Each structure stands twice: as C-alpha cells, then as structure tokens.
Amino acid sequence: MDVNGTTWVVLGLLALRPMSGYEMKQVVDRSTRFFWAASYGQLYPELGRLESLGLVAGESAPTGARPRRVFTLTEKGRDSLHGWLRASGTRMETRDESLLRLFFADALPHDEAVQLLRARADHHRASLMQLETTAAAAEGDPPFVSLTLRYGLDYCRWEIEWCEAQERRLREGT
C-alpha cells in the first residue's frame, strides 16, 4: 500500500474529526510538530494519494466562492490507522544541534564549554513557556492528546533540571 509518516498524520487527524488540508497544517503546527512535523508539500499530495486509495474521502465545502475540500476517514482508512497503532515499529530519529555542540565542546576553553549547558537550558525554558501557553487553551482535548502535551511539559522541565545539575557538577568538580 506504500505508506510514509505523513500517512499516519493524515489518518490520525481525520480520526479526531473531518478537516481540510489547510486545517491539518494548523493543527500539526500547534501539536505534533515537536515530535512529528508536516508541511503543505507533504500534506496535500498525501491527501490526494489517500483519496485515490479510498482511505479518505474528500468533499467540496466552499466558504462562499472560495474553494475548500473537507476530508473524512473511510472505514478502510480507519482499519489502516488501527493496524498502524497496533504495530510495533518504533522509528525514532533526532537531530539535536545543541547536543552535538556539547559532544564536541572539549575543543573549547572549559568555561565556554560549560556555558553551552546554560544555552541548552534556556532553549528548553523557551519551549516550556510556549507549551504552557498551549496548555492553557487545551481544555477538553482527548485524553491521549493531553498526555502528549503533558509529555512535552515534563520533558522540558527534566531537560532544564538536567542542564542545571550538570552545570553545577562541572563547576564544583574542577
């Protein structure tokens, strides 16, 4: 059937409620973006593909004269989604420039190297604030949607504490 990551984003979002491609992008940017991003260049072609496979059904729902297509999950689409949710593949990839810097930080004078921990903590402090704003407007989310939001909050807090603890350790340890 030929799937990719975007497939599951599309099917998963439509399991929550019918929506347009434009709306999907907005939802992704406020939620899964932190662990799974998606762009228009992926979303729109994938919607067309999944429609031709019969996993989603598109219906015209214009706003006045402005064209607009709203998609629904078909039974077949729901089956695929459930199949993936029950599957066990656990692909996990990260590109973390700040950790890469830390890894090579021995090339820097010790003081400057330790500073990198502070920069990393700051970055996660900013993410935390952003997530807290999101959380404030997230009443009534389904339980597992709010569980991943909680994950984001807990993870940021852990990162901040870890960086602070290591900074202390390195300053004392000298």
40 near a second copy, judged by CB under 8 A: no
Q: Quote the CA–CA distance of 142 and 66 in Å, as a whole number.
A: 31
Map the footprint of a second copy across residues 96-155, applying CB under 8 A: 96-108, 112-113, 116, 119-120, 123, 142-145, 147-148, 150-151, 154-155
Residue closer to DNA (CB basis): 60 or 88: 60
Out of DNA, a second copy, none, which partner does residue 66 contact, by CB within 5 to 8 A per kind? DNA
Using CB under 8 A, which of the segments 40-48, 50-58, 128-136, 162-170 binds a second copy?
162-170
Q: Are 77 and 84 in contact (CB under 8 A)?
A: no
**Shortest distance in whole angstroms from residue 111 CB to a second copy:** 12
Q: Quote the CA–CA distance of 8 and 137 in Å, as a whole number.
A: 25
Residue closer to DNA (CB basis): 30 or 110: 30
Query: What does the block give as tokens for 164?
Result: 């602070």
* DSSP-assigned letter for residue 64: T
Q: Find all residues with CB under 8 Å of 104, minimum gap 6, and list them.
A: none
29 near a second copy, judged by CB under 8 A: no
Residue ranges binding DNA (CB under 7 A): 4-6, 20-23, 26, 37-42, 44-45, 47-48, 63-70, 93, 95
Q: Quote the CA–CA distance of 49 and 55 in Å, as a whole number.
A: 9
Q: Quote the CA–CA distance of 28 and 134 in Å, as a whole number.
A: 13
